[in-house]
Amino acid sequence: MQETHSSWFKRVTRNDSNRRAADLAGISPVTLGRQLKADDLSADLVIKLAQAYDESPVVALVDLGFVSAKWIQEVGITTALTRASDEELTDELLRRLQLLDDSPVDELASRRAKSNSRTPVVRSGWEDNGIPDDAVADSSPEVGGTLDDLDP
């Protein structure tokens, strides 16, 4: 049920006088009095009054029928992420990591790295691996000259 403008005003201002409310909101007491008498506050006055009394102006606009409640919803993911501070982002990331496992974050990172990397197989010695010798590259250092150049 939509609230009347005058009942909203009394609730939000906690029954402050019109003059005090107008002073806090930085609006004309005459304008406020005229609109309250007609029980028809402008959206601009509602916003200023809500802010002056540390109330949500968006909720106030919904309460008084200026805006449909369907517009009060979570912001998009990209908007929320760009507005979040670095501390808020890391706090959320750590909170989520703690939900995944009771392991310390360093241990989780180490396990992920191990599962995502392929450890090369290192063979020692000259094992018979089924590869023909002529298909294996020679890894000995390159020496210049020919056999004839060698001293007997």
Helix spans in the chain (H):
5-13, 18-25, 29-37, 43-52, 57-63, 77-83, 86-100, 105-116
Would you state the pLDDT for residue 91? 87
**DSSP state letter for 15:** T
Domain limits, the chain: 5-71, 77-116
CA distance 21 to 113: 61
Question: What confidence tens digit (pLDDT) does each residue in 92-148 have?
Answer: 888 888 765 566 666 766 776 776 665 544 444 545 555 555 555 555 556 555 555
Q: Tell whether the model's pLDDT for residue 20 goes beyond 60.
A: yes
What architecture (CATH level 2) is domain 5-71? Orthogonal Bundle (1.10)
Would you state the pLDDT for residue 75? 64
pLDDT: which is higher, 73 or 87: 87
Would you state the pLDDT for residue 79? 75
Would you state the pLDDT for residue 71? 77
Whether 20 and 9 have beta carbons less than 8 Å apart is answered as: no
CA distance 14 to 40: 19
Would you state the pLDDT for residue 123? 47
